């Protein structure tokens, strides 16, 4: 473990019970993005860090998975989830995070602009120069699983004292964050495998329907998560509930058309207009997909089922599959469409996200719409096809939408 020691820190002793409670809580988070955000947030809170970055290793590079900075992003934490996430660093000594990932050692640095010249790592000031931010103290720890695999790096920036002044991190901080990082790494590895399974399901649907690409699914999931969070904040939904539901809605949105794997290629890949009979058969993807998530005691199954079954319902009641007696009946008859708040909010959210992304995406039967035209379509159909309140929220979050589109380019 390397350090650059100056004056000893006078920070408050850390509460080990709070650390243990946080460790326990992260092991109950199944959605990867929710977990990454929580790990970074809790580690920063624990040592009173102004900023931080969580990197994950993929293809022998370090990718910016989450960036938080209370000074720079206080007004728009949502956009910061995506603005840096396509960037990456090599696993070498040209960056502090690269050194930690490649060496497996943690770093404790009192002032990154006064690093000793006899060490194997260096600080790259380019971010400070571009953002007009001043990095001072840093605590950087590897995320190492119980099988000794380095899966990423947790980088904490600028410890703050009770007056908001930048101070060094302490050796106690390093011990506690290293302990937390070991538990976080195992939770991340488990959640990462779960997300890979979801993406494989999306890729399976893509084999059947060329329009259901993994990038489309990721964009719809991200739009839906951000839209839900704003909606939930406006209703003062407790943060823990909001974060849990946000993650489940994001994943469910990615799987909204998974039922299409059971629909004939003759329908999915037909270039001409579908007949009335073919349109009816296509509508069955909502029921067939929802049947995959039938566990009554699982909150995840409930939200996935709600989204998959209802994302083609319309605010005015003219959507499908409508009110049906049971998903498990062999002979299901589509009933009268659900209307307004009869439609679960998760499905109302995904409907907007899905339609918007489909409109601005290229299809064999149409050119991509420009963003302004797609937004105007949402506005004109608010109160008919879409929940008008959710449309208004979506129209007001276009800075975040733009960041998501840049992350998951076409």
Catalytic residue among 218, 250, 260, 338: 260
Kindly state the DSSP code that residue 29 receives in the 8-state scheme: -
Find where tokens 């990718």 sit. Answer: 63
Residue 368 neighbours by CB under 8 Å, 6+ apart: 359, 360, 361, 362, 410
Find where tokens 């603005």 sit. Answer: 83
**Cis ω for the linkage preceding 107 (within 30 of 0):** no
What are the beta bridge partners of residue 156? 52, 139
Residue 10 neighbours by CB under 8 Å, 6+ apart: 161, 167
> Do 157 and 52 meet the contact criterion of CB atoms below 8 Å apart?
yes
Give the up-direction half-sphere exposure of residue 380: CA atoms within 13 A in the CB hemisphere.
7
> Do 137 and 146 meet the contact criterion of CB atoms below 8 Å apart?
no
What are the beta bridge partners of residue 366? 363
Q: What is each CA distance from 90 to 70, 114, 155, 360, in whole angstroms?
A: 26, 23, 15, 34
Establish whether 260 is a catalytic residue.
yes
* Rg of the chain in Å (alpha carbons): 24
Whole-angstrom distance, CA of residue 132 vs CA of residue 280: 57
Structure tokens at 367: 């050119």
Kindly state the DSSP code that residue 259 receives in the 8-state scheme: G
> Do 317 and 339 meet the contact criterion of CB atoms below 8 Å apart?
yes
Whole-angstrom distance, CA of residue 264 vs CA of residue 270: 10
The catalytic site residues sit at: 260
């Amino acid at each position: 473990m390397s350090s650059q020691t100056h004056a000893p820190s006078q920070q408050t002793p850390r509460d080990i019970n709070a650390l243990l409670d946080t460790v326990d809580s992260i092991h109950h988070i199944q959605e990867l993005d929710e977990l990454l955000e929580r790990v970074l947030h809790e580690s920063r809170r624990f040592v009173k860090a102004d900023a931080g970055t969580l990197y994950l290793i993929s293809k022998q590079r370090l990718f910016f998975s989450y960036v938080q900075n209370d000074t720079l992003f206080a007004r728009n934490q949502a956009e910061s989830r995506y603005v840096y996430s396509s960037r990456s660093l090599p696993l070498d000594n040209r960056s502090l995070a690269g050194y930690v990932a490649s060496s497996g050692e943690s770093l404790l640095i009192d002032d990154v602009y006064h690093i000793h010249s006899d060490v194997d790592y260096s600080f790259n000031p380019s971010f400070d120069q571009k953002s007009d931010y001043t990095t001072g103290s840093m605590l950087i720890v590897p995320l190492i699983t119980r099988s000794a695999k380095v899966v990423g790096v947790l980088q904490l920036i600028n410890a703050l004292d009770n007056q908001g002044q930048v101070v060094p991190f302490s050796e106690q901080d390093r011990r506690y964050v290293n302990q937390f990082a070991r538990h976080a790494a195992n939770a991340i590895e488990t959640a990462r495998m779960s997300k890979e399974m979801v993406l494989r399901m999306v890729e399976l649907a893509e084999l059947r329907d060329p329009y259901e690409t993994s990038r489309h699914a990721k964009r719809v999931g991200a739009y839906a998560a951000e839209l839900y969070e704003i909606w939930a904040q406006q209703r003062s939904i407790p943060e823990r509930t909001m974060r849990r539901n946000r993650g489940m809605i994001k994943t469910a949105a990615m799987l909204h058309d998974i039922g299409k794997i059971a629909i004939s290629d003759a329908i999915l890949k037909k270039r001409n207009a579908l007949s009335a009979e073919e349109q009816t058969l296509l509508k069955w993807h909502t029921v067939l997909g929802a049947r995959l998530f039938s566990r009554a005691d699982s909150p995840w199954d409930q939200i996935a089922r709600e989204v998959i079954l209802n994302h083609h319902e319309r605010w005015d009641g003219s959507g499908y599959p409508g009110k049906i007696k049971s998903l498990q009946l062999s002979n299901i008859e589509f009933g009268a469409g659900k209307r307004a708040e009869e439609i679960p909010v998760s499905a109302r959210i995904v409907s907007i996200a899905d339609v918007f992304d489909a409109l601005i995406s290229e299809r064999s039967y149409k050119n991509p719409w420009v963003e302004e035209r797609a937004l105007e379509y949402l506005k004109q159909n608010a109160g008919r096809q879409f929940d008008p309140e959710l449309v208004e929220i979506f129209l007001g979050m276009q800075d975040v939408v733009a960041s998501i589109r840049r992350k998951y380019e076409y």
